[in-house]
Structure 1
Amino acid sequence: MGKINDSIISGTSGRTGRIVVANVNGIEISRIRPKKSSKPPTSKQLLVKDRFNKVVEFMRSYREYAKKFYGHKVGLKSPYNNAMGNILNSIECDMNNLTLIPHYDRMHFSKGIGVSPQPTAISSPNPYTLQIDWENNTAGTSDEDDYLVVLLAEDEQLDAQTVFYKTTTKRIDETIQLTLLPRYQNKDMHVWIAFVNNEDLYASNSIYIGSITII
């Protein structure tokens, strides 16, 4: 026996048997619930599941940012869904060796209509510090007031949470020094940056700068 709720205000939802009906953002969809398998998962299935879990962990630090600043909703896919799709596609499942291979240069945490950053250098001038330099490529426009956001990820450590910074540094400043936790000393860190409109209306695409060893 199943139950379906049909309301002009709230839409249709519920399930009967294996059929599940839901209203997602005004669009009515139905799915068939998969049967539970009595067979233990294969090594390849476990690898795919492990990749998904690692992607969720990778995005945890900038989850709320991605919901707002990773493009626009496309069909039933939200900005967060699209951001997750990018990271999933950037982590390769090596089915022969049963390992995950991250391609950091394919990863993006921000997507929008803002002017893309033009990074010039990254360095670690002092212990636990990361310096990022860029060009002010919007001279004389209101985009000079865009503020900087930064994403850091420890190399080959997909189990480790990423670090996300929403700064007060503006594009016109052309440089920033971030102080990291001591645990990142002597670690290779991957670096991405983007800029957000001062009124939080839109963001730029993120740019992958590369990796650097924190002294």
Structure 2
Amino acid sequence: MTDWLGPEEWRAVALSLKVSFWATMLSLPIGLWVAFVLARCDFPGKQILNGLVHLPLILPPVVTGYILLATFGIQGPIGSALQEIGIVFAFRWTGAALAAAVMAFPLMVRAMRLSIEAVDPKLEEAAGTLGASGLWVFLTVTLPLILPGVIAGAILAFAKAMGEFGATITFVSNIPGQTQTVPSAIYAFLQIPDGEASAWRLVIVSVVIAMTALLLSEWLARRPVAQRGSA
């Protein structure tokens, strides 16, 4: 791939992989907890939480990016506080990871929630009657059963993060080698003469990664069904 892609193109791919990996890994435990709460708990404001989780799917990505900039930027209420301890998101790759995580979060939570809802609650209740704590029941009963869904959600989130553009470019701009991910690089190449070939190469990379993620997530989503059918 290093021979096929130019140095600038390769930097964009490498940065996208880095951003997507950390966006997925850091949001995974939060996404799993939110998915479990939405699937198993009833409480006032549940629908509001569900709406907030899925809001990035409905809002224009630029709006999401601007909200992140206003909140986590240097002048924002959270960003200014974090800057005092040396954490900066605006116009950094860490900000790109944050934006990608926010945009990918709904897909991750949805996949995990569907997997949790497919687990018979009686299995968890039976383990609870034997004296197991709620956490132990989740770790030994629920998690093994929903693991394909968890992995599928992580894969979908990773692919979504790889393709995020609007929120990222609004929040962290398009700085080559620092915040320029694959979608941003494609946009930049299309603005210059003779940049179409580079843009096409990155488009191919994006399509391959997205298709691979979709096939993997579909295969994982069907595995529990196939196993139940053969049982």
Same fold (TM over 0.5): no
Q: Which has the larger radius of gyration?
A: 1
TM-score with structure 1 length normalisation?
A: 0.27
TM-score with structure 2 length normalisation?
A: 0.25
Larger strand proportion, structure 1 or 2?
1
